[in-house]
């Protein structure tokens, strides 16, 4: 069977539901630009007609995809069969205990456990999400923190997917909960001991704006600091050496850190270095010194130190290297671990505080993902990190600080006869229209012929300076084993090649992100990797913006596109300061109340740039309780696209009524969603088995 045959006719024969005639269409003129919005009414979340319309769209999507039901069932079965369903994470040693999570067959959620760090010690279950979430459509852990004396556990739960968390505290000696819990908590950590908890709350716009202190013994809650600037969010954490509490106020381009001795249960936070526009810095502490990762005079950042008594008196420790982005630093009793990016790849460097010598971890693959694992122990003699590639499952290693010796702690098992040697990974650099070379990360079956074009799945993001990880996915094997090539386009706007890479796809240069993606897709076609009839693409959130803009630019270039929780209604959202997360995004996309910035957003906003065209097959996935990108953005985009499409392809909307921005929380629920999405892609390519 040809992989490029047309989508079965039954995929497009069903009649899509017509939106109820809008009662409140929006006609607005901004900076002399008159824009109408016939689907503005879909924002009315509590309107029964909106819910009914979304449910009708789900029914339509199910009917269109009905011919692929057998394939969808097969995909779910084989993806589940690859899971080690009874599994356990690598135990984390801390204060005489080993902490870990485990899963059990047929149960959706992880179980959080510990046991004493001695042979044959019995297990203690601290939190079983399968019990907590019984009968609920959604439950997810936000944070999980053990006090530094090991006496209490604080954890946060989200019940809808809206990322609105409640914090609970458990006494680990008595196994009894502390009677009081707190809501709308965005971040928290323990002070010294187990009686003081510092926490951040969010306002109605979901901006993390207030820092509090909760003294459990007295039940007293104190408001310590309010961040007035609407561009900034707060985070709070205790340093690994347990000496300081750090509260970071951060916009997308500027930070400021406040500090308080962790054992000072009545004190006030003090600013370490006052904020200066476009100065980003992050702090840690060890042995009487603050350590700073800063971009002051160093676009890709350098490392500085200062005495804790004079935190603004900096001394350079590691100088700026233009080709190396210093992303973060972790301080331990004897060493520093420095997270870097170079040539588009993550790296870990270990700095010996006694000798000043730096050693980099060596890694085996051409394309990979590398990150720190759980490292709670300040006096640890080794560093735990996670490593994986597009063809190699994730593993947890511990690297000895003194010797560099590495030991494997945990390797994720992939069942069903998986062999990483059957797959090939590679890195290709693609010249785009202005001559810049954009990296692609690629994986395919090793036995796949390259003598002729193949079906190809291209994925992208390109925003906020975030780097797309070249990580392993056991579910993706279901596509690779059916002959698809999977490619990540590391387009500008991301952080793969440092701050210049980020700046080249941000604010007034945002269009570069979209043209990079289109140029990468065209290069893959021109160089015989694939054809437009075999090319499917996807992205989520800001990556959904990328896909929506790319499809508008070149609807002829793609066979199908999947947009997950997509940020596609850019202008309407950014013009409404009452929506969550809007005003703080002004320094990422622009402020549309300013004419020049409105103009550049107007040029790419996917919803506003839909036009009569033969669009590819589209699947738009949204979540009803999404706090990051409201469900109506994707719903409006799809409804409008359907009125302008001349290609006769399947244009589908699916709303998840039991999840938020990250999708389903249960592992089996998530697999069902992946199976639906993969069946959509494979159906558009004519793959039925």
- Which CATH number covers residue 327? 2.130.10.120
pLDDT of residue 120: 95
Which stretches of 396-530 are DSSP H helices?
477-480, 499-503, 511-526
Res 20 pLDDT > 70: no
Residues 401 and 547 in one domain: no
If you average pLDDT over residues 217-240, what whole number do you get?
A: 97
Are residue 436 and residue 308 in the same domain, yes or no? no
Q: Are residues 639 and 674 in the same domain?
A: yes
Which of 380, 413, 446 represents a domain boundary (last residue)? 413
Q: How does pLDDT run across 399-457, given as a tens digit for each residue?
A: 999 999 999 999 999 999 999 999 999 999 999 999 999 999 999 999 999 999 999 99
**pLDDT of the residue at 688:** 78
Encode pLDDT of 157-171 as tens digits.
999 999 999 999 999
Mean pLDDT of 360-378: 95
Alpha-carbon span 613 to 610, nearest angstrom: 8
**Whether residues 400 and 427 fall in one domain:** no
Report d(CA 538, CA 436) in Å as an integer: 23
Q: How many CA atoms lie within 13 A of 201 on its CB side?
A: 19
645 in the same domain as 565: yes
Q: Are residues 550 and 596 in the same domain?
A: yes
At residue 363, φ and ψ (nearest 5 deg) are -135, 150
Average pLDDT, the chain: 95
Considering its fold, how many domains does the chain have in total?
A: 2
pTM here? 0.95
Tokens coding 660: 């938020």
> CA 81, CA 237: separation in Å to the nearest integer?
39
Domain of residue 342: give its range.
280-413
CA distance 536 to 524: 12
Helix (H) or strand (E) holding 682: helix 667-684
Average pLDDT for 488-506: 98
652 pLDDT tier (thresholds 50, 70, 90): very high
- Among residues 535, 525, 529, the alpha carbon closest in space to that of 558 is found at 535
pLDDT one-digit tens code per residue, 597-643: 999 999 999 999 999 999 999 999 999 999 999 999 999 999 999 99
Q: How far is it, in rounded angstroms, from Cα 293 to Cα 299?
A: 11
The reply to whether 463 and 597 lie within a common domain is yes
Residue 4 is predicted with a pLDDT of 31
The answer to whether position 479 is within a domain reads yes
Catalytic residues: 541, 626, 661
pLDDT on residue 15: 76
CA distance 84 to 80: 9
What is d(CA 261, CA 50) in angstroms, rounded to the nearest whole number?
A: 51
Residue 11 binned pLDDT confidence (cut-offs 50, 70, 90): low
End-to-end CA distance of the chain: 10
Tens digit of pLDDT for each residue in 257-282? 999 999 999 999 999 999 999 999 99
Predicted confidence band at 27 (pLDDT cuts at 50, 70, 90)? confident
578 Cβ partners below 8 Å, 6+ apart?
A: 205
pLDDT on residue 3 = 28
In tens, the pLDDT along 195-214 reads 999 999 999 999 999 999 99
Distance between CA atoms of residues 39 and 633, nearest Å: 10
The predicted model gives 27-52 an average pLDDT of 92
* pLDDT tens sequence across 453-485: 999 999 999 999 999 999 999 999 999 999 999
Segment 534-588, tens digit of pLDDT? 999 999 999 999 999 999 999 999 999 999 999 999 999 999 988 988 999 999 9
pLDDT the model gives residue 257:
98
CATH of the domain at 581: 3.40.50.1820
Residue 215 covered by a domain:
no
- Residue 194 inside a domain? The answer is no
Residues 653 and 506 in one domain: yes
Q: Does residue 135 fall inside a structural domain? A: no
Sorted by sequence, the CB contacts under 8 Å of residue 268 that are 6+ apart come out as: 224, 260
* Same domain, residue pair 398 and 459: no
Mean pLDDT value of segment 502-506: 98
In a domain, 516, yes or no: yes
Judge if 316 and 285 occupy the same domain.
yes
Q: Are 656 and 582 part of one and the same domain?
A: yes
Is residue 260 included in any domain, yes or no? no
For residues 389 and 444, membership in a common domain is answered with no
Is residue 469 in some structural domain?
yes
Residues in the chain: 689
Domain boundary among 387, 413, 439: 413
Query: What are the pLDDT digits (tens) for 53-65?
Result: 999 999 999 999 9
What's residue 13's pLDDT? Answer: 55
50 sits in which H/E element: helix 48-64
pLDDT value, residue 5: 36
Residue 244 lies in a domain: no
Among 383, 413, 443, the domain boundary falls at 413
pLDDT per position as a tens digit, 672-686: 999 999 999 999 999
The region of weakest confidence among 27-36, 239-248, 502-511 is 27-36
* Percentage, residues of the chain above pLDDT 70: 97
DSSP-assigned letter for residue 243:
S
pLDDT of residue 121: 97
For 218, residues 6+ apart whose C-beta sits below 8 A from its C-beta are: none
């Amino acid at each position: 069977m040809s992989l490029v045959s047309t989508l079965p006719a039954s995929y497009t024969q069903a009649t899509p539901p017509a939106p109820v005639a809008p009662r409140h269409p929006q006609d607005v003129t901004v900076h002399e630009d008159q824009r109408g919005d016939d689907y503005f009414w879909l924002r009315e979340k509590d309107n029964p007609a909106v819910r009914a319309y979304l449910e009708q769209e789900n029914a339509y999507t199910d009917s269109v995809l009905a011919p692929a039901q057998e394939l969808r069932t097969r995909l779910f079965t084989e993806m589940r069969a690859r899971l080690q369903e009874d599994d356990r994470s690598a135990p984390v040693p801390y204060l005489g205990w080993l902490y870990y999570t485990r899963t059990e067959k047929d149960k959706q959620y992880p179980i959080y456990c510990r046991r004493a760090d001695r042979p044959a010690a019995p297990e203690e279950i601290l939190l079983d999400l399968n019990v907590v979430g019984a009968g609920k459509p959604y439950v997810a852990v936000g944070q999980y923190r053990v006090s530094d004396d090991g006496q209490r556990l604080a954890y946060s739960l989200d019940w809808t997917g809206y990322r609105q968390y409640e914090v609970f505290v458990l006494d680990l000696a008595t196994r009894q909960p502390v009677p009081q819990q707190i809501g709308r908590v965005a971040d928290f950590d323990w002070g010294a001991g187990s009686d003081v908890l510092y926490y951040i709350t969010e306002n109605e716009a979901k901006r993390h704006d207030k820092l509090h202190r909760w003294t459990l013994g007295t039940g007293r809650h104190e408001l310590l600091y309010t961040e007035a600037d609407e561009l900034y969010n707060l985070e709070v954490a205790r340093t690994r050496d347990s000496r300081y509490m750090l509260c970071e106020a951060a916009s997308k381009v500027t930070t400021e850190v406040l500090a308080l001795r962790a054992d000072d249960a009545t004190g006030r936070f003090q600013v370490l270095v006052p904020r200066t526009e476009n100065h980003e810095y992050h702090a840690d502490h060890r042995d009487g010194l603050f350590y700073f990762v800063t971009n002051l005079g160093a676009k890709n950042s350098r490392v500085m130190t200062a005495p804790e008594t004079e935190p603004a008196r900096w001394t350079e420790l590691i100088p700026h290297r233009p080709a190396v982005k210093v992303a973060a630093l972790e301080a331990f009793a004897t060493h520093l671990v420095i997270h870097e990016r170079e040539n588009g790849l993550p790296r870990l460097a270990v700095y010996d505080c006694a000798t000043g010598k730096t050693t980099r971890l060596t890694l085996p693959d051409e394309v990979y993902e590398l990150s720190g694992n759980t490292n709670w122990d300040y006096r640890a003699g080794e560093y735990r990190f996670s490593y994986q590639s597009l063809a190699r499952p994730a593993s947890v290693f511990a690297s000895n600080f003194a010797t560099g010796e590495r030991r494997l702690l945990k390797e994720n098992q992939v069942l069903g006869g998986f062999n990483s040697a059957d797959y090939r990974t590679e890195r290709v650099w693609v010249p785009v229209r202005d001559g810049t070379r954009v990296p692609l990360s690629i994986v395919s079956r090793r036995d796949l012929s390259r003598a002729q074009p193949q079906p190809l799945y291209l994925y992208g993001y390109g925003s906020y300076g975030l780097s797309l990880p070249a990580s392993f996915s056991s579910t993706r094997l279901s596509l690779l084993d059916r002959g698809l090539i999977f490619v990540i386009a590391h387009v500008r706007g991301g952080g793969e090649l440092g701050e210049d890479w980020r700046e080249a796809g941000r604010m007034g240069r945002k269009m570069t992100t979209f043209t990079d993606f289109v140029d990468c897709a065209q290069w893959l076609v021109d160089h015989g990797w694939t054809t437009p009839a075999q090319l499917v693409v996807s992205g989520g959130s800001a990556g959904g913006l990328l896909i929506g803009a790319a499809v508008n630019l070149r609807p002829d270039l793609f066979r199908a596109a999947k947009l997950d929780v997509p940020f596609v209604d850019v202008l309407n959202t950014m013009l409404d300061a009452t929506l969550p997360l809007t005003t703080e995004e002004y320094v990422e996309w622009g402020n549309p109340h300013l004419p020049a910035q409105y103009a550049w957003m107007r040029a790419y906003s996917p919803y506003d740039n839909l036009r009569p065209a033969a669009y590819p097959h589209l699947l738009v996935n949204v979540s009803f309780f999404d706090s990051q990108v409201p469900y109506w953005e994707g719903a409006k985009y799809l409804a409008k696209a359907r009125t302008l499409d001349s290609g006769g392809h399947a244009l589908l909307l699916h709303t998840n009524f039991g999840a938020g921005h990250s999708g389903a929380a249960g592992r089996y629920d998530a697999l069902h969603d992946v199976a639906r999405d993969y069946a959509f892609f494979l159906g558009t390519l004519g793959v039925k088995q």
